Structure 1
Amino acid sequence: MSFSTTPAVLILEDGRTFSGSAYGSVGETTGEAVFVTAMTGYQETLTDPSYHRQIIIQAAPHIGNTGVNRTDDESGRIWAAGYVVRDASRISSNWRSEGDLADWLSESGIVGISDVDTRALTRHLRDKGAMRMGIFSGPAAEAPVDELLARVQAAPEMAGANLVDEVTTSQTRLIPAEGQKRFSVAAVDLGIKSMTPERMAERGIDVHLVPASITLEELQTLGVDGVFFSNGPGDPAAADDQVELLRGVLDARLPFFGICFGNQLLGRALGFGTYKLPFGHRGINVPVMDRTTDKVEITSQNHGFAVDAPLEGETTAPHSPDYGRVIVSHVCLNDDVVEGLACLDIPAFSVQFHPEAAAGPHDSSYLFDRFIDLMTASQADSAAQA
């Protein structure tokens, strides 16, 4: 790669400014500033649709040393609006590498900046909270700072943003089970990562990947044994159509499993509220306790919103008593944020993190097996009632 010396500037919406060098494409971009604490997995991060309209700040100082490859992509493109690193690797050195990160960013039109004090930037966001940000390089960086700041402040905010339709699949497709088929699941694509259906397929599940706009009637014609809601970008308070779909799933007593955005939508479907976190959880090192087992797992996370549900005891679902009792099944050990919900009287549960572990630890892979147990129990109940 050719190492850029093109000047670049980063401007936060509160006016704080950082100077650096262009990294990737030269130009300008705006989005919500989010920091990621993971030391590895930058390729999976960049291709995660949950980062749509966000500018990623890598807290780890050295980025790009293992290059990029086609295998590790979690979708068909980079979804991040921009990229911020401190020390961009000058070489790619890995036996799996098929290219250079900076070249990939440039070819994908992703405007980035390097040589930035990402520690200071991360501390600023932790102190002041999430905010919009802009990166300007080349001729774009030559404009007066107050003009660039105005562009940042004019960018849309994440609160209230409905982005699901911008990232979902356009048509239903099947990811077939590996080996003998055990179950069939409809996975509603709210911004799904490619490893997620693979984790289900390797457990003998036929995965019907369906658009976020699917109706309950269309979903039921698939004849599935369960329904899965994926991760995704935007504000869960704006996803009313998907909440109504999920309530139909719960009313039909179809076994349900949701992750990340899917966890927030289950919270809304049950009648709980959601709220925006000060700076979110993004990384592959977030400690969570599974209260059903008292085990602590290190999790992969990417979310800026959370469910507002009582942490202690059982609660009757506020939306409808027909949904019965609900507990907070998982909690974050850093800040007591709700990390999972479990329904005790209907077959539904969810978690706020990413059990597919791409990239990330594999502590939470048992959750796919828990989904299988839920579908097994549901089939047994149906057989007993027949």
Structure 2
Amino acid sequence: MALDTAADTRAVLVLEDGTRYTGRAYGARGRTFGEAVFATGMTGYQETLTDPSYAGQIVVQTAPHIGNTGVNEEDPESARIWVSGYVVRDPSRVVSNYRATASLDDQLVTDGIVGISGIDTRAVTRRLRDAGVMRAGIFSGADASLPEADQLALIRDSATMTGQNLSGTVSTAVAYTIPAEGDRIGSVAVLDLGVKNSTLNYLSARGFDVNVVPQTITFEELLATQPSAVFFSNGPGDPGASDRHVELLQSVLREGLPFFGICFGNQLLGRALGYGTYKLPFGHRGINQPVVDVTSGRTEITSHNHGFAVDAPLGEPTESPAGFGLVEVSHVNLNDNVVEGLNALDIPAFSVQYHPEAAAGPHDSNYLFDRFRDMVLANQARTTDKDSK
């Protein structure tokens, strides 16, 4: 673990409203800005840090002890840490896991992530719950000594999450393919808006050749991959700032290709169907969110990471404002009645706001990948039957 010197141990977390929390430097030294959010997972900090959906955000861990198991080369959800900053209460001073290859502190330094430790993360969480998520900054080392007014001014000059399109920051620059495992049933074009490794592995395990494509792809280029289906991934930013991806998805739906979307992909399906999106006061981030499947009445404990949601009517199916037939809200958050899933009844398309690929868990919703596989097989059967007539 990186050792502190007396000269650079001080750090401060400053919220946009002027609230300040003084602690110790953790990870890289310097300054960083982002939207302060809290994550309630008791485990899986490495998966959280490497989730591209957290790009542009300073993550506050509500679990008090972080770093106990260090980091390893098996659990990351992407090639690097994506959070803008990291806030913990009590970082572990030792690493206690046989799989560990480094300490979390060392990894934060390697990836240039400015963090802070030794503050009351419960107090920060309560502030964000009461006032809503807001811009923030972490200042450590020499930057911790900047005048308070200057620190606050820097934060208030930084970008807000609303209106930001961050897909280009996290998406792959070049397409690549993960071959199907077992019996191949077809290929799926995955629009990388910040996709996680677990998602790709689960799709491959269902018999898909997984063609991961950049977020800049055109509809014609996407069709050239000859997909059996299309998938839009999770990702950071405001869905209201992704008009081009909405237009791409509408072309996919008109083509009749089966579609599955997760998280950001759910928000984009909502927009493609003609519904709006809006920003939640403090979002859903953690691995303990109760969601009900409206059709079955079954409650699932689910993993979340989103600050925006789809504004679609609960209850009976409604006509898609964009002309894609009937649409039902398939899943609802039991904490606040936020829309957690959409199911198009007249075209082969569905999506969920939460993460069925969840790592480190829970796995209550993993069956949705099977549902996607079944939908693709059913569409192939219909196409074959139609061509034979």
TM-score by length of 1: 0.98
1:237 counterpart (228, 235, 240)? 240
Aligned to 1:191: 194
Aligned to 2:129: 126
Separation of aligned partners in 1, 2:30 and 2:360: 29
Aligned to 1:329: 330
- The one-letter code of the counterpart of 2:217 is I
SS of residue paired to 2:249: helix
Separation of aligned partners in 2, 1:59 and 1:183: 42
1:92 counterpart (86, 92, 95)? 95
Separation of aligned partners in 2, 1:202 and 1:309: 32
Aligned to 1:305: 308
Aligned to 2:383: 382
Matched, 1:37 2:27: no
- The one-letter code of the counterpart of 1:71 is E
SS of residue paired to 1:140: helix
Aligned to 1:367: 368
Separation of aligned partners in 1, 2:142 and 2:223: 54
Separation of aligned partners in 2, 1:228 and 1:365: 16
Contact 2:185 2:377 in 1 (8 A): no
1:205 counterpart (200, 208, 223)? 208
- The one-letter code of the counterpart of 2:100 is S
Contact 1:312 1:328 in 2 (8 A): yes
Separation of aligned partners in 2, 1:137 and 1:225: 50
1:357 deviates by 1.4
- The one-letter code of the counterpart of 1:364 is S
Separation of aligned partners in 2, 1:3 and 1:76: 25
Cα deviation code 1:120-143 (max 9, x no counterpart): 000000000010000001110111
TM alignment of 1:136-215, pairs within 5 A? 136-215=139-218
How high is the sequence identity, in percent, across the aligned residues? 62
Cα deviation code 1:299-354 (max 9, x no counterpart): 1110000000001111100012xx10000000001100000000000000000011
Cα deviation code 1:236-267 (max 9, x no counterpart): 00001100000000000100000000000000
Contact 2:290 2:334 in 1 (8 A): yes
- The one-letter code of the counterpart of 1:173 is Y
Contact 1:184 1:225 in 2 (8 A): yes
1:316 counterpart (307, 313, 319)? 319
Aligned to 1:11: 14
SS of residue paired to 1:70: coil
Matched, 1:50 2:59: no
Contact 1:300 1:359 in 2 (8 A): no
Greater Cα shift, 356-365 or 18-27: 356-365
Separation of aligned partners in 2, 1:51 and 1:87: 21
- The one-letter code of the counterpart of 2:267 is Q
SS of residue paired to 2:346: coil
TM-score by length of 2: 0.98
1:294 deviates by 1.0
2:262 counterpart (259, 269, 288)? 259
Separation of aligned partners in 2, 1:315 and 1:180: 38
Number of aligned pairs?
A: 384
- The one-letter code of the counterpart of 1:118 is T
Greater Cα shift, 374-383 or 126-135: 374-383
Point out where structure 1 has 5 or more consecutive residues left out of the alignment.
none
Aligned to 1:110: 113
1:13 deviates by 0.3
